[in-house]
Chain A
């Protein structure tokens, strides 16, 4: 696993449909707590789809489940997570005078979580 990876937060179809029902219900929670990773980067550390991983940024850390993606869809070094309360926890609050916190391309470390 490389030292740090770049986390891309974004919308997904499922995140959009499930938030209509409720952000507090299972489908939305599951949708926004899954991080896509390049499959080739998962196997060397023994990670399989659905395994728990800890993402840590300079501002916070969250535990999510990983899901493998092909290189075509997600290049090595990149992670993708659907927007939600978990991805927000990794954001720094400094907006550099713009009002906008950085919510895309956050530098994170990734560790498998045991248990």
Chain B
């Protein structure tokens, strides 16, 4: 390590939705690396370690050929200005400032804007629209919750500090003994490593979470549930009755849930059942629910798209105003049905995560990618622009999973432009090409 060291305190890790803002970074300015990340979990340490370092990547690739950022911006603007059904997707691993530019572009060209929410907690967002949600900031849970129920997630491996900084072991104002003052329940289809922290582990048959949640709702409301529930769900009536009682009798309960509910049979019905259960429990005690968000700023994407368009994801602007319809304007569907004729992908890798038919369509249409790294999607893109990494190189605003907005403290400079800068320049160039926002001609049929 060189002697040219900089310490940055209270930096923010944006690997997962915990968005921990207590990172103390040791930065070796000569080696251009972050050599230590105090307080980071194993995922955070990898995040800080693998970003930074000498970037020898080309500024951009156009059809596989090295190009300048400027050329790539021009090529991108040309593609977007000509497209009739452009899709802008991704945005969970970038700043709010960049997200706002992405929505602005979509509004200008009459495109479709969608974020990784649609394949993450989108169903929970849909459930929210139907049921609402009783929730709280993480500090509230840390300071008050004496009952924690983790459902359909494995925080030990996906959000390690959710347990240590915010919930299970963290001490709080009304939970001064931390773990000892709490009961922890884990509900999942398998005994994941997270089960080790649980007092009670409930194993559910795959695809039967809805039935378990609905039975709990019934029990909370004092209704009778048939013991046959065990055959259906793998969970005995006695276990459910016990859980329902614990939930009603706690002082402040929290249900934290993950993809185990959204990515399986039932999707938004599962999330809705859980949110409804949390609401029901408020007749007896104070109970909150929290969707555990995956990426560092997917919550920011939800917030930005919501305040600018009125809807959280899957928004189409083709008629001159926002329209929202999951299944119609969400990316997996637009690509799977072959409807989008161009795509701008920012800070996401759908070619690694989407179903095959969607990936095949991405190969057929012009794709622009903004990403710090080479990804499956950047490899198939017509234009791939290397951008700097948020939180490591780039300042800006991010939202934690509980909607708390935090400002990033970047550690290292980068030769590459930020997503915000590239998107702003693409937007300005598209504005020149189109002469302003595209306004659909409206006439009676």
Q: Are both chains from one complex?
A: yes
Which secondary structure dominates chain A's binding surface? loop
Q: Which residue of B lies closest to A97 (CB)?
A: B327
User: Chain B: how many interface residues by the 8 Å CB criterion?
Assistant: 61
In the assembled complex, the Cα of A61 lies from the Cα of B50 at a distance in Å of 32
Q: Which residue of B lies closest to A75 (CB)?
A: B190
B49 contacts which of A16, A20, A73, A99 (Cβ < 8 Å)?
A20
In the assembled complex, the Cα of A95 lies from the Cα of B332 at a distance in Å of 8
The verdict on A42 contacting chain B, using a C-beta distance below 8 Å, is no
In the assembled complex, the Cα of A103 lies from the Cα of B206 at a distance in Å of 12
A73/B191 contact (C-beta < 8 A), A16-B43, A23-B375, A98-B122 known: yes
B349 and A73 contact, CB distance less than 8 A: no
The verdict on B374 contacting chain A, using a C-beta distance below 8 Å, is yes
Q: Give every chain A residue within 8 A of B328 (Cβ-Cβ).
A: 97
Q: Interface code A79-115, partner B: CB below 8 Å = 1, 0 otherwise?
A: 0100111001101111111111111110000000000
A21 and B313 contact, CB distance less than 8 A: no
The verdict on B300 contacting chain A, using a C-beta distance below 8 Å, is no
B354 and A101 contact, CB distance less than 8 A: yes
B267 and A100 contact, CB distance less than 8 A: yes
A78 contacts which of B156, B190, B349, B351 (Cβ < 8 Å)?
B190
Q: Which residue of B lies closest to A17 (CB)?
A: B46
The verdict on B265 contacting chain A, using a C-beta distance below 8 Å, is yes
The verdict on A59 contacting chain B, using a C-beta distance below 8 Å, is yes
Q: Which of B1-9, B256-264, B303-311 contacts its partner?
A: B256-264
In the assembled complex, the Cα of A73 lies from the Cα of B195 at a distance in Å of 10
A96/B191 contact (C-beta < 8 A), A13-B43, A13-B157 known: no
A105 and B264 contact, CB distance less than 8 A: yes
Q: Give every chain A residue within 8 A of B351 (Cβ-Cβ).
A: 85
Q: Which residue of B lies closest to A9 (CB)?
A: B263
In the assembled complex, the Cα of A8 lies from the Cα of B46 at a distance in Å of 25
In the assembled complex, the Cα of A97 lies from the Cα of B329 at a distance in Å of 10
Q: Give every chain A residue within 8 A of B51 (Cβ-Cβ).
A: 20
B355 and A99 contact, CB distance less than 8 A: no
Q: Which residue of A lies closest to B47 (CB)?
A: A20
Q: Give every chain B residue within 8 A of A97 (Cβ-Cβ).
A: 326-328
A93 and B332 contact, CB distance less than 8 A: yes
Among A17, A97, A99, A105, the most chain B Cβ lie within 10 Å of the Cβ of A99
B349 and A88 contact, CB distance less than 8 A: no
Q: Which residue of A lies closest to B51 (CB)?
A: A20
The verdict on B235 contacting chain A, using a C-beta distance below 8 Å, is no
A99 and B264 contact, CB distance less than 8 A: no
Among A22, A24, A78, the most chain B Cβ lie within 10 Å of the Cβ of A24
A11 contacts which of B118, B154, B333, B373 (Cβ < 8 Å)?
B154
Task: List 14 A–B pairs whose Cβ atoms lie within 8 Å, in order of A's numbering.
Answer: A9-B263, A10-B154, A10-B259, A10-B260, A13-B193, A18-B46, A59-B355, A72-B191, A83-B353, A85-B353, A89-B356, A95-B333, A98-B327, A99-B330
Nearest 7 interchain pairs by C-beta: A99-B330, A97-B327, A17-B46, A93-B355, A93-B336, A105-B206, A99-B326
